[in-house]
Amino acid sequence: MTEKTIEEAEKPVSKDCNYEGIDLDLISYFGGKFIPLREANVNIMTHAFQYGTGVFEGIRGYYNAEEKQMYIFRMKEHYERLHNSCKLIRLELDKTVDELCKITVELMKRNKPECDMYIRPNVYKAGIVVGPSLINKNGGNPTGLSICTMPMGDYVDISKGLHVCVSSWFRVEDNALPARGKIQGSYVNAALSKTDALLTGFDDSIVLSGDGHVSEGSAMNLFIVRDGKLITSGVASNILEGITRATIIELAKNEFGIETMERQIDRTELYVADEAFFCGTGAQVSPITKIDNREVGTGKPGAISKKLQDLYFDVVKGKKAKYKNWCEPVF
């Protein structure tokens, strides 16, 4: 592969929404109020800034131009996962899932978007205190909450197959820094694997667990197809328990009669797979056509990957009545 400059590697792929720069005039939710993003700031001594002691979610809002409606995809499930992430690092989130959903809908209404959006809630240790302890002793290290939104199109180029590599960086282990939680500090692990892949000319990376088995992508889940069946790493393989992952498993079974095997995946299975694809809130459904300079299947996006991708985009834009309950309307 040809090495890329940092500028080339960081060039965004989005065509529909401009997110090269964040609009600081957008409204955010911070400190219990709706305020311009430019005013939503934390002190440099904030515990989460010093130690990475926070969790976050990534939620998509899809704009249906025909209906002039914004649909937030599986928002409740994302906020349920946010609550679970909080439990992992002793964050005291004082908002219920329903309250978080209501705040998010109101925030989206105030920003009046007319393109696909990304929603980023953060829950974090907000104390001005030195020392890594997560204990909120005498109220000295309270929990903060922020939610912001921004335009976002394609996180990776899903119009063609991705060429990815197996990273030299292992995925963080559950008993060290659990990957099943979206913990801010743990995403340095994702940053290392993705950055090295980009700078060596790949589109992204696949990471292995410490025992050498396939975990997931740099910041997304992974599926392979063998003999017409979907295979994905189990939840005990140091993966994020992805909501898009669960969506794909359900859609594949309900709509195409395709079962999913959740099990360990050897590295070499990647090289003999018929198809492969990433999935996640950012990645959506992204076919992989090369891994470590080896073609996957025919070297083109596979039939199963493509039909799951097409169905997924119909579902998230509220075009499938059967799954409309997954789509929260804003307007």
Helix (H), strand (E), coil (C) string for 254-281: HHHCCCEEECCCCHHHHHHCCEEEEEEC
Q: Which residues contact 174 (CB under 8 A, 6 or more apart)?
A: 180, 236, 238
Q: Which candidate in 182, 194, 306, 319 is catalytic?
A: 182
Token pair listed for 61: 């809002």
324 is catalytic: no
Which helix (DSSP H) or strand (DSSP E) does residue 232 occupy?
strand 229-232
DSSP conformation class of 156 = S
| Residues β-bridged to residue 163 | 290
User: Which among 67, 140, 134, 72 has a CA at the least distance from the CA of 100?
Assistant: 72
How far is residue 123's CA from residue 72's CA, in Å, rounded to a whole number? Answer: 20
Among all residues, which ones are annotated catalytic? 182
